[in-house]
A and B are shown apart, each in its own frame.
Chain A
Amino acid sequence: MGAIPLLWGILTLLFLLLHLAPGDPTTAFFNPNVSPEVIEQMRRNFGLDRPLYEQYVRWLGSFLSGDFGYSFSQFRPVTAVLADALPNTLLLGGVSLGLIFIIGCAVGIVQAIRQYSVLDHSLTFLALFIYSMPGFWLGLMLILIVSSNAVPDGARLPISGMQSLDYDAMGLWGRLADRGRHLVLPTIALGVASAAAVARYMRGSMLEVIGQDYIRTARAKGLTERRVVLVHALRNAMIPVVSLLGLFLPILFGGAVVIEVVFSWPGMGRLMHDAILARDYPVVLAGSFLFAALVIAGNLVADLLYAVVDPRIRYE
């Protein structure tokens, strides 16, 4: 429940910052061919001619009743604008998050059980190499590789947007495959660095657990190594890694801004970026609210997952 005053505080601060910053949505019409009277009328139509406190009260009132208002730069209801962009970002972020944890954990486990082997050393090197690569740069490199002449036309992965031109003519499976192909590069660019980080955490945590007495007991019982690692050790080794989930959400959303621009993915990151530049107050405010709510929800999910992996924690 502490989240609600927090959200209100964030939004109020943002409201003030946005309105006190110089310029307003009509800056886009800054041009001697547009007469000042027209600009004045536009401001009236947007409600920007009112005193700030009145705008704030109006905005808060409609916000609380679930009306996010009209976008100044998109000329549509903010709800419709967000409803277009949010699922795209959730799809990209969700798939990335899944891959981060699956690949990160798998690599971490392999490294832990083969500690100090050549494989471990080379994976460590690779993880550090990837981790230190900025996502946008990796994205551009992927685009360069995919669009090089070495790749035959038929095998090229799409580098922009989230569906092909003939998407509407495809059947269900065709559409799924098409969407999947569009996801490959942005997901890699967005997730690979975090996956490397997860692998590092997983390796450390797994090593610690594998040295424990109960693991020796499990082995002594004659369980297969596979069962020892994947059942007995994994669950305990996951505890610190799960807490990363909550940490990664804001990083993912932040990274999405850049990755969505590079791969022309029509999601929240790009929307917010453009909305801030266009002084589209309603979109910025509603979008920030959504981001904040998502991060809070993500942390809640992480808390719940603790209970799943750590039997000592029980929520009443």
Chain B
Amino acid sequence: MRNAWAALLSRTLCVSLALSGWGCGDRTESLEEIPALPPVAESERFGGTAVVGGAADVATVNPAATTGHLAAELQKHVLLMTLLRHDSTMQAEPYLAESWELNQDSTQVVFHLRRDVRWHDGVSTTARDVAFTFERLKEPRTAFPNREWFDQWEGAEVLDPYTIRFVLRPHAGFLYGWTQLPIMPAHLLGDVGPEELGRDPFGTEAPVGNGPFRFVERLPGDRWVFEANEGFPNGLGGRPYLDRLVYKAVPDEATLFAELRTGSVHMLRDLPPSQIERIEADPDLAVLTFPIRSYTFIVWNGQRPVFRDAAVRRALTMAIDRPSLVGAVRNGLGRVANGPIGPWHWAYEAELAPLAYDPEGAAALLDSLGWTDSDGDGVRDRAGNELSFELSTNDRQVNQDISVIVQSQLRAIGVEATPSTRESGALAAALTSPERRFDAVVLAWDPDFEVDDRPLFACSHLGEIFQFASYCNRELDPVLDSIPMVRDRPTRLRLYRKYNRIVQGDQPFTFLYFTTDAVGVRRELQGLVLDARGEFTSVRDWWVHPDYRAANGSP
């Protein structure tokens, strides 16, 4: 009962806040911590199986073939290792490399690798593996999805088995790629041609890694099973607490929830916001939330005469009640977006208020621009053109909900948006075609950890595939160009702020909200750290409370 009242209260609070223009923000603070269980000695944490459940299967754990979130997490945190990794403030810290040196003019980096890391088949991980991975990534025929991370990097030179030197052009966040790129075993893949690397059985049937967990088996469409790597270096914490880690693909929402409730699954990824209340009502379960990189936005096609005027785009943004939109479509799991840099990012500008919801202001602005309802049909027009357009989106339910809400809110100020659902392949084709065959589209995506938005908004990228908005502001280009080049954070921060301000004024996109992600967890799963780095960041330290191990049928 207490939970139900709390939920009701927080919803009421949400509504009143929304009315005052502030919205409910993200729910992170209001959620309960995992209920405490009897404490156990550290030595008793060892053992047990943790099962993570999610809707999608992972087709491959080969870094050369996939950019999927989950696959990347399994690569970086579970099976393989990266040279460096992000700490909780998104700064690089040592992982496979124990240290690095940058020369005077930032054109050379030397990495010193740990000497105690072995592949799961017993072979040492050396600089040769790093050089191999780097060379395959740079080779165009591999079609390595994230090749851009290393655009500024050139040659690799193995100085000794545990030392490697790279040549690069100086740029900001230059260590970033090394926090993301899992190193692959040269002794197993060295003979595989670049075109074949992506579909080598390595990623689908017999992955050999060097991370805290080793591969046991995979049942396609069903599960991945990993077990503790006894040889994981003590300097990095030693073997994981868990004996086994299982990822289970359960595509149906209701089935997955039932699995969590009955204890067959310990953590439910990508929790649908509508299930929050049900999970909070169960004393064995908890909801954990964390901001992720994803944001949702509406792109206005700047080639359409209606959307060419920044003032019109601003009016449209002002007419959309984003706080209540987040409440309606995400059950509060999100924060109204004030631009492209989200709360997970160190440069997030919490003080910058998003354009306020102001339908009267929006109407007055449109009036002043000459968009009035001269023919009395309820839709504004100017010189014979109606302020009427198609608002497309893909078949994701949340995007469809958004377009319907936006439609009704725009209708209130005399703007006609007609929602239409397109199949995602068709939508991508329409967006990227040179003719930009769309009016406005509701979309969501994840920026990279190192935000470089030139492909989206730079004049120099007009006509290229991701400049959907066909937006050009000469003042913005130098800012976007310098962001990836400037190394010190204070200067970068100023640039990011300038970027925010310009985009706030021009509204090439209407930024709707930053997504807060949620997982449902059983109380016996302990040691979780959840943030923008992902769900598996602390997987080495996960443990299942011993009192619960037998009940889960895990040996």
Chain A residues proximal to chain B, CB less than 8 Å: 21-24, 27-38, 41-42, 44-45, 70, 73-76, 81, 84-85, 140, 143-144, 146-147, 153, 156, 158-166, 168-169, 261-264, 266-267, 270-271, 274, 279
Contact = CB atoms under 8 A, between A and B. Distances in A.
Contact of B143 (A38, A81, A143, A168): A38
B148 A23 contact: no
Contacts of B57: 274
B222 A23 contact: no
10 contacts: A22-B425, A41-B141, A41-B142, A75-B198, A84-B221, A153-B551, A165-B225, A166-B555, A264-B251, A266-B221
Interface stretch (B60-68, B161-169, B368-376): B60-68
B424 interface: yes
Given A21-B426, A75-B60, A266-B222, A160 B248 contact: yes
Given A75-B204, A161-B223, A161-B248, A144 B258 contact: yes
A23 B199 contact: no
Contacts of B225: 165
B501 interface: no
Contacts of A45: 141, 143, 195, 198
Contacts of A163: 219
Nearest to A166: B555
A262 to B, nearest CB: 5
Size bin of chain B's contact surface: 35 or more
Interface of B: 49, 51, 57, 59-60, 62, 65, 67, 140-148, 195, 198-199, 201, 203-205, 217, 219-223, 225, 244, 246, 248-252, 254-256, 258-259, 261-264, 423-426, 428-430, 432, 445-448, 453, 455-456, 464-466, 551, 553-555
A33 B423 contact: no
A261 B251 contact: yes
A166 B553 contact: yes
A32 B455 contact: yes
A35 B143 CA distance: 10
A32 B450 CA distance: 12
A34 B141 contact: no
A35 B252 contact: no
B551 A41 contact: no
A41 B553 contact: no
Nearest to B139: A41
Contacts of B448: 33
Nearest to A46: B143
B250 A160 contact: yes
Given A32-B466, A34-B146, A262-B252, A23 B220 contact: no
A75 B255 contact: no
Contacts of A147: 258-259, 261-262
Contacts of A84: 219-221
Contacts of A23: 423-426, 428-429
A264 B255 contact: yes
B426 A162 contact: no
Contacts, number: 158
Contacts of A164: 553
A165 B51 contact: yes
8 closest A-B pairs by beta carbon, nearest first, are A23-B425, A266-B221, A147-B258, A41-B143, A22-B426, A22-B429, A42-B143, A266-B222
Contact of B250 (A21, A29, A38, A264): A264
Given A29-B145, A84-B221, A156-B262, A263 B255 contact: yes
B341 to A, nearest CB: 15
B251 A38 contact: no
A36, A41, A153 pick with most chain B CB within 10 angstroms: A41
B466 A75 contact: no
B60 A264 contact: no
Given A74-B60, A75-B62, A84-B220, 13 more contacts: A22-B430, A23-B429, A27-B428, A32-B447, A33-B67, A33-B148, A45-B141, A75-B199, A75-B204, A76-B204, A84-B221, A161-B250, A165-B554
B198 to A, nearest CB: 6
Contacts of A32: 445, 447, 453, 455-456, 466
Nearest to A35: B148
A148 B476 CA distance: 57
Contacts of B140: 37, 41
Contact of B221 (A31, A36, A44, A270): A270
Nearest to A258: B252
A38 B147 contact: yes
B148 A262 contact: no
Contacts of B59: 73-75
B555 A169 contact: yes
A75 B143 contact: no
B255, B455, B551 pick with most chain A CB within 10 angstroms: B255
Contacts of A27: 424-425, 428
A38 B551 contact: no
B67 A31 contact: yes
